[in-house]
Amino acid sequence: MKAHNGGTMKTAKIIAFPQRPKRQSQPRAEALPAEATLWSVFAERCERNPRKRAVRDADGSMTYAELLALSAQLSRIFLREAERNPARRMIGMLGQNSAIHLATLLGCARAGLAMVPINWRLAEEEWCWQARASGLCAVVEGFGHRMPQDVMAAEAITAIGQSTIRLLPREPVVGTELGRAALPALVGYTSGTTGRPKGAILTQAALLANATNAQALFEITPDDRVLTILPMFHVGGLNIQTLPALLAGAEIILQQKFDADEFFDALAQHRPTLTLLVPAVMAALIAHPRWKSADLSCLRAAGAGSSIVPLPLIEAFQSRGVPIQQVYGSTETAPITIAQSREEALAAPGSIGRPAALSEARLGPLGEIQVKGPNIMQGYLNNPQATAEAFADGWFRTGDIGRVDADGRWWFTDRLHHIIISGGENISPAEVERVLATAPGVLECAVIGKPDAKWGEVPLAVVVPGEGFDLHHVLDVFEGQLARFKRPREVAVVAALPRNALGKLDLPALRALVLRET
């Protein structure tokens, strides 16, 4: 997940908000003990208030004690599956948002294993590749999503249905916690610039550090109610507010997937105090018939990220009394690295804020934003070369260009690498080009982002045609190979792809050529 905003200096409309003391830095936070684990922190929270509601989802609700017991039961099942093949330490999670998603993560943490969230919006071929690449020993699946049985059998992967999990006894499990702070807890796959996604390894310590950043940033307390509408298969939906709020003792309200009517219903029925949005969702809410009459007064703030957030969207929410706190980061950073506090959101709309409580940031060569902190990934799974290339002297290279103004605020200005962000989803052009190049009659091809009013940008295929090329059927090659959101909507035909003196694709020239004509 990339979360950032443009570097424009346009000033947003000024709205009156309750005043708080001015800060020139991020809210302070206390780091947890070095030996703390996800399980120990969550268990300690459960002991404080076991009967408090922890999660609401489509199937009902769970108290903290019930979620703790379910997670412990799952840890025992996961450990049994991992013991069948000690080389496999990963548990897949395929399904829409539910309490079981959180129980799976916590169960993995207790067993010393790692959860691999699988994007249910991807094509089955992509699910299968990810299962093989990560070496899953089991997959939790449900809500209409099931892994192909032939792949499960061939890879000896066990399916654990969510309906079965719901029937597990809500009783504590006797046994020793096997989790450790330095062990991987989450492997998030991220679209990079070179073909297949890479699995970013986040340790328990990294997730706890990110939670500390989030709790300070959004001032999360046990009294909060967090409405989660973004998918938890992304680190944004899982880690910007949801997991940090759970570890703080707050109540989580989960929607299976975004639905504007359900969002407005939740505002009226549950009165959440915080939520997280992306530009496409913000635009859909503003355009909805219920927007003007909806009571948003329960929301203290909303986080926003995943792509450039247009100022008109920020202004629309802030005019209704909801500050939009922007968050900058990526899957590799868990993701919070630079972000806006509530005060910063009101003082400088459009900025991405300041380094988070436990994070550091600097500008590297070419103005690249580079970050450091205990929340940064351990590396890419089974990819030492990509891991080495991702760091410079211990600093993670984000691939984004930014600047810092005279007041110490950070601004995103451009990308060093070619990534398309459509509706909050990162799309690697190289991954799309890999499939497009196999279509009949495609001599050369490239994929670029085309501006789109609804999604921000969408993939556009650029093709140099040869013998056998069929403009009307060339996009059929993507069927069953890539998720629909990754597939180009249009095809632009050119005589040749523009290249620079070194023979490399000249992206600015290609964009100027194609986008002018489409």
- Whether 502 has a pLDDT exceeding 80, the answer reads no
Round to whole Å and give the CA distance between 1 and 451.
19
The mean pLDDT value for 283-303 works out to: 96
Where do runs of H (alpha helix) occur along 112-191? 124-134, 149-154, 162-166
- What tens digit of pLDDT does each residue of 440-460 get? 999 888 999 999 988 999 999
Q: Are residues 407 and 278 in the same domain?
A: yes
Residue 280: what pLDDT?
82
Contact 466, 102 (CB under 8 A): no
Which domain-ending residue is among 354, 379, 414?
414
Which domain-ending residue is among 349, 380, 414?
414
| Domain contains 20 | no
More confident residue, 118 or 176: 118
- Whether 505 has a pLDDT exceeding 80, the answer reads no
| Domain contains 31 | no
In 3D space, the residue among 289, 338, 347 whose CA is nearest the CA of residue 318 turns out to be 347
- Whether 19 has a pLDDT exceeding 50, the answer reads no
Round to whole Å and give the CA distance between 302 and 236.
13
Q: Are residues 182 and 324 in the same domain?
A: yes
More confident residue, 517 or 259: 259
Q: Are residues 315 and 455 in the same domain?
A: no
- Whether 417 has a pLDDT exceeding 80, the answer reads no
Structure tokens at 325: 């706190």
Contact 181, 170 (CB under 8 A): no
What three-state secondary structure class fits 250? Answer: coil
Q: Are residues 378 and 441 in the same domain?
A: no
Alpha-carbon distances, residue 274 vs 87, 241, 337 (angstroms) = 40, 8, 19
Q: Residue 6 — pLDDT band, cuts 50, 70, 90? A: very low
Structure tokens at 50: 């076991």
The mean pLDDT value for 69-92 works out to: 95
Residue 15: what pLDDT?
45
The total domain count for the chain is 2
Stretch among 310-319, 366-375, 503-512 having the lowest mean pLDDT: 503-512
Round to whole Å and give the CA distance between 503 and 465.
19
In 3D space, the residue among 111, 54, 5 whose CA is nearest the CA of residue 246 turns out to be 54
Q: Are residues 102 and 204 in the same domain?
A: yes
The mean pLDDT value for 397-416 works out to: 88
Residue 14: what pLDDT?
39
Q: Are residues 444 and 372 in the same domain?
A: no
Residue 9: what pLDDT?
35
Q: 440 is in which domain, residue-wise?
A: 428-517
- What tens digit of pLDDT does each residue of 216-273 get? 999 999 999 999 999 999 999 999 999 999 999 999 999 999 999 999 999 999 999 9
Structure tokens at 444: 């050369």
CATH at residue 447: 3.30.300.30
Q: Are residues 345 and 254 in the same domain?
A: yes
DSSP label at residue 500: -
The mean pLDDT value for 502-508 works out to: 70
Structure tokens at 94: 């395929």
Residue 362: what pLDDT?
97
Residue 22: what pLDDT?
45
| Domain contains 14 | no
The mean pLDDT value for 147-175 works out to: 90
Q: What is the pTM of this model?
A: 0.83
Mean per-residue pLDDT of the chain: 90
Residue 497: what pLDDT?
86
Residue 426: what pLDDT?
83
What share of the chain has pLDDT > 70, as a percent? Answer: 91
The mean pLDDT value for 341-345 works out to: 94
DSSP label at residue 296: -
Q: Are residues 349 and 492 in the same domain?
A: no
Residue 249: what pLDDT?
97
Which domain-ending residue is among 414, 441, 468?
414
- Whether 50 has a pLDDT exceeding 90, the answer reads yes
Q: Residue 500 — pLDDT band, cuts 50, 70, 90? A: low
Contact 462, 449 (CB under 8 A): no
- Whether 20 has a pLDDT exceeding 50, the answer reads no
Residue 274: what pLDDT?
98
Q: Are residues 354 and 502 in the same domain?
A: no
Q: Are residues 276 and 392 in the same domain?
A: yes
Q: Are residues 371 and 444 in the same domain?
A: no
| Domain contains 188 | yes
Q: Are residues 54 and 132 in the same domain?
A: yes
DSSP label at residue 499: B
Q: Which residues pair with 198 in a beta bridge?
A: 190
- Whether 151 has a pLDDT exceeding 70, the answer reads yes
Structure tokens at 368: 């690249």
Neighbours of 65 (CB within 10 A): 17
- Whether 437 has a pLDDT exceeding 70, the answer reads yes
Residue 515: what pLDDT?
87
CATH at residue 194: 3.40.50.12780
